Amino acid sequence: MTNGGRVVIITGSSSGIGKASAILLASQGWRVVVNCSSSVAAANAVVDEIKTNGGQAIVVQADVGKDEECKKLVDKAIEAFGRLDAVVNNAGTTKFNAHTNLRGLSTEDFLRIYSVNVVAPYNMVKYAEPHLRSAGNAAVVMVSSIAGVMGVGSSIAYAASKGALNTMTLSLARNLGPEIRVNAVCPGFIEGEWLRNGLGDKAYEAARNNYISTTPLRATVTAEEVAECVAFFCSSASKVTGEVMMIDAGTHLGSAPAKAR
> What pLDDT, on the 0 to 100 scale, is given for residue 2?
43
- Under 8 Å between Cβ of 13 and 35: yes
Q: Who's near 178: CB < 8 A, 6+ residues apart?
A: none
Cα–Cα distance for residue pair 53/57, rounded to 1 Å? 11
Of the residues 127, 158, 204, 211, only one is catalytic, namely 158
Q: Which fold has domain 7-193+222-246?
A: Rossmann fold (3.40.50)
114 an active-site residue? no
- Under 8 Å between Cβ of 169 and 183: yes
> What pLDDT, on the 0 to 100 scale, is given for residue 191?
84
| Nearest in space to 177 (alpha carbons), one of 233, 245, 84, 239 | 239
| Nearest in space to 161 (alpha carbons), one of 92, 247, 66, 105 | 92
> What pLDDT, on the 0 to 100 scale, is given for residue 233?
98
Full-model pTM:
0.93
Residue ranges of the chain with pLDDT lower than 50? 1-2, 260-261
Tens digit of pLDDT for each residue in 49-87? Answer: 999 999 999 999 999 999 999 999 999 999 999 999 999
What are the residue ranges spanned by the domains of the chain? 7-193+222-246
Cα–Cα distance for residue pair 9/219, rounded to 1 Å? 30
> What pLDDT, on the 0 to 100 scale, is given for residue 261?
45
> What pLDDT, on the 0 to 100 scale, is given for residue 259?
63
Residue 138 CA to its chain's centroid (Å): 17
> What pLDDT, on the 0 to 100 scale, is given for residue 258?
66
- Under 8 Å between Cβ of 161 and 118: yes
> What pLDDT, on the 0 to 100 scale, is given for residue 4?
58
> What pLDDT, on the 0 to 100 scale, is given for residue 1?
38
Task: List the Cα angle 257/217/188 in 5-degree steps.
Answer: 110
